[in-house]
């Protein structure tokens, strides 16, 4: 069965950031230097070729873009300056928009104005809702406990609602991804046992980002710095997310806060601040090839995150020092950035968090399935036509 070429695809991808892909002449240098490319998953060369050929129907079923952690070695090696690393990144952005059934992700990636507008709208709705709630129920001069401006019980319910919406989007998109990759993109059915056997891949890759550390480029840094910071940033916001989602009532219980909560909160904050500053600095200085081209959405991501972290910490300081009105104001600003940032997750690069471990999981399953099939074929070729 032949695959239809979509000549307009390459123009579409341009808006996701893949500007130079047509310069590639398929020498394969990129795949040679890539520490992750192997016999089964040949990238970036093959992904580049599919993109050059306008084979979007093939590409939407591939896992290769997710297997790349953008160390940038391929882009440094490329004799044609076709920037394979950025192309893989653009393909991930495009894949996020493909998995997303609402179509919002694509719109945000293609137009920064739309994204910023959506964020402002969500922020304003959140802000006015909080202001309205706070003024009608509590006192502006009280931060926590009885008669608080934004009581923790209410925020807890609010967080859970937002989290629920978020989870719903993510789960739907993840199912879509599974369908595209494992059903549509698989030439043969995969045994359910493999899904169970490889299940450990999900938490393993989620928490360690092991393959990111495997990028030779990252290994070359002292103390695996980029990986460590990335991990710190990621674990930081996951810890923070859990703290806020689950333990917010204890966080704001009153002047006395349990030390476990404190420790986790401070550690997570340090991770977040260090990571955010590191990546913002990187994007400004462009000293790594990965940061040579920042897509509009990359900026929105780090800038919002930075505001969230700053307001979160400021809030804590104001609360501790008794400046309760200021604490309430920063709280509202904090929520105004958190909600759009969270709701944006399924439609943005943030969804890496989910798609990457999933992709590792699927990749391992597929690799096993291929080995299995080859074993069967080598024993009895007639079994599979």
Partner 1 sequence: MCGTNIAKIVDVEEVARFASGLPNVALAKSYKYMCSNPGQEMITQDIREHNLNRIVVAACSPNMHERTFRSALRSAGLNQYLFEMANIREQCSWVHTDPVEATEKAKALVHAAVRKVELHEELESVSVDMCPNVLIIGGGIAGMTAALEIADAGNLVHIVEKNDHLGGNLARIDLTAPYLYSARDLLTEKITRTNENKKIHIHLQSKVTDLTGFIGNFKATINSLNGKETGKKKPVEIEIGNVVVCTGYKEFDASRIVHYGYGKLPNVITSFELEKMIRAGRIETKEGKTPKYVAIIHCVGSRSQEFHTYCSRVCCMTALKYAHEIKSANPECYISDVYIDMHAFGKGHEDFYRRSSEAKTLFLMYEKGDRPVIHKADPKDGCEMLIEVNEKLSGELIEIPADMVILMVGMEAREDSHEIARTVNISQDKEGWFIESHPKLEPVATTTDGVFIAGTCVAPKDIPDTVAQARAAAARILARIAKERIEVDALYSEVNENLCSGCRLCNTLCPFSAIEFIEEKKQSHIISALCKGCGVCVAACPSSAIKGRHFTDQQVLAQVDGLFGID
If binding is defined by CB under 8 A, does position 370 make contact with partner 1? no
Listing DSSP states for 22-77 in one string gives GG-----HHHHH-SS--SSS-TTHHHHHHHHTT-HHHHTT--HHHH-----HHHHH
Among 15, 23, 60, 162, binds partner 1 (CB under 8 A): 23
- Smallest distance, Å, CB 180 to partner 1? 18
- Smallest distance, Å, CB 244 to partner 1? 45
- Smallest distance, Å, CB 58 to partner 1? 7
Which CB sits closer to partner 1, 57 or 250?
57
- Smallest distance, Å, CB 46 to partner 1? 7
Count the site residues for partner 1 by CB under 8 A.
Answer: 21
Which CB sits closer to partner 1, 47 or 328?
47
Q: Which of residues 141-200 bind partner 1 (CB under 8 A)?
A: none
Question: What is d(CA 83, CA 30) in angstroms, rounded to the nearest whole number?
Answer: 9
Q: Would you tell me how many other CB atoms lie within 10 Å of the CB of residue 177?
A: 25
Which CB sits closer to partner 1, 2 or 378?
2
If binding is defined by CB under 8 A, does position 3 make contact with partner 1? yes
- Smallest distance, Å, CB 161 to partner 1? 44
If binding is defined by CB under 8 A, does position 40 make contact with partner 1? no
Q: Which of residues 44-83 bind partner 1 (CB under 8 A)?
A: 46, 49-50, 52-55, 58
If binding is defined by CB under 8 A, does position 4 make contact with partner 1? yes
- With contact defined as beta carbons under 8 Å apart, do 72 and 52 qualify? no
Q: Which of 16, 125, 137 is nearest to 65 (CA)?
A: 16
Which CB sits closer to partner 1, 12 or 214?
12
Q: Would you tell me how many other CB atoms lie within 10 Å of the CB of residue 214?
A: 14
Query: Which contacts qualify for 282-291: CB closer than 8 Å, 24 or more apart?
Result: 288/72, 288/226, 289/72, 289/75, 289/76, 289/85, 290/70, 290/71, 290/72, 290/85, 290/89
- Smallest distance, Å, CB 371 to partner 1? 21
Among 15, 22, 77, 373, binds partner 1 (CB under 8 A): 22
Tokens of 1: 């069965």
Binding mask 316-335 for partner 1 (x = CB under 8 A): --------------------
Q: Which of residues 95-134 bind partner 1 (CB under 8 A)?
A: none
If binding is defined by CB under 8 A, does position 10 make contact with partner 1? yes
Question: What is d(CA 162, CA 23) in angstroms, rounded to the nearest whole number?
Answer: 44
- Smallest distance, Å, CB 14 to partner 1? 8
Q: Considering only the stretches 3-11, 206-214, 228-236, 273-281, report the one whose residues sit in contact with partner 1 under the rule CB under 8 A.
A: 3-11
Cis peptide before 263 (omega within 30 of 0): no
DSSP-based three-state secondary structure for 103: coil
Which CB sits closer to partner 1, 74 or 228?
74
Q: Which of 238, 298, 304, 310 is nearest to 273 (CA)?
A: 310
Tokens of 226: 């980029």
- Smallest distance, Å, CB 23 to partner 1? 5
- With contact defined as beta carbons under 8 Å apart, do 297 and 348 qualify? yes
Sign of the alpha-carbon torsion through 3, 361, 170, 131: negative
If binding is defined by CB under 8 A, does position 84 make contact with partner 1? no
Q: Would you tell me how many other CB atoms lie within 10 Å of the CB of residue 331?
A: 24
Q: Would you tell me how many other CB atoms lie within 10 Å of the CB of residue 60?
A: 17
- Smallest distance, Å, CB 7 to partner 1? 3
- Smallest distance, Å, CB 4 to partner 1? 5
Q: Which residues contact partner 1 by CB under 8 A? A: 1-5, 7-8, 10-11, 14, 22-23, 26, 46, 49-50, 52-55, 58
């Amino acid at each position: 069965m032949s695959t239809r070429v979509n000549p307009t695809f390459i123009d579409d991808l341009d808006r996701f950031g893949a500007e130079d892909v047509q310069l590639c002449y398929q020498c394969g240098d990129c795949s040679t230097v890539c520490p992750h490319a192997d016999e089964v998953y040949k990238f970036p060369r093959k992904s580049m070729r599919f993109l050059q050929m306008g084979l979007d129907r093939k590409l939407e079923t591939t896992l290769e873009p997710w297997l790349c952690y953008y160390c940038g070695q391929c882009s440094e090696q490329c004799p044609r300056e076709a920037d394979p690393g950025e192309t893989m990144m653009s393909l991930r952005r495009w894949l996020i928009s493909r998995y997303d059934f609402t179509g919002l992700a694509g719109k945000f990636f293609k137009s920064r104005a739309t994204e910023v507008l959506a964020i402002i709208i969500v922020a304003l709705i959140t802000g006015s809702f909080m202001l309205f709630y706070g003024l009608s129920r509590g006192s502006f001069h009280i931060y926590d406990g009885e008669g608080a401006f934004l009581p923790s019980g209410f925020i807890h319910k609010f967080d859970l609602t937002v989290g629920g919406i978020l989870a719903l989007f993510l789960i739907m998109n993840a199912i879509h991804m599974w369908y595209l990759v494992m059903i549509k993109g698989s030439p043969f059915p995969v045994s359910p046992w493999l899904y169970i056997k490889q299940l450990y891949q999900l938490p393993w890759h989620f928490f360690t980002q092991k393959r990111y550390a495997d990028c030779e480029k990252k290994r070359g840094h002292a103390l695996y710095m980029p990986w460590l910071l990335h991990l710190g940033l990621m674990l930081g916001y996951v810890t923070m997310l859990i703290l806020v989602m689950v333990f917010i009532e204890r966080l704001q219980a009153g002047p006395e806060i349990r030390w476990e909560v404190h420790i986790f909160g401070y550690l997570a904050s340090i991770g977040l601040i260090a990571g955010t500053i590191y990546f913002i600095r990187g994007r400004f200085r462009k000293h790594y090839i990965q940061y040579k081209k920042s897509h509009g959405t990359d900026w929105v991501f780090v800038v919002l995150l930075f505001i969230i972290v700053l307001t979160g910490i400021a809030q804590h300081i104001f609360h501790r020092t008794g400046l309760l009105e200021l604490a309430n104001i920063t709280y509202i600003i904090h929520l105004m950035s958190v909600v759009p940032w969270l709701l944006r997750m399924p439609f943005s690069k943030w969804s890496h968090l989910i798609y990457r471990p999933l992709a590792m999981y699927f990749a391992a399953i597929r690799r096993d399935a291929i080995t299995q099939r080859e074993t069967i074929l080598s024993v009895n070729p007639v079994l599979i036509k």
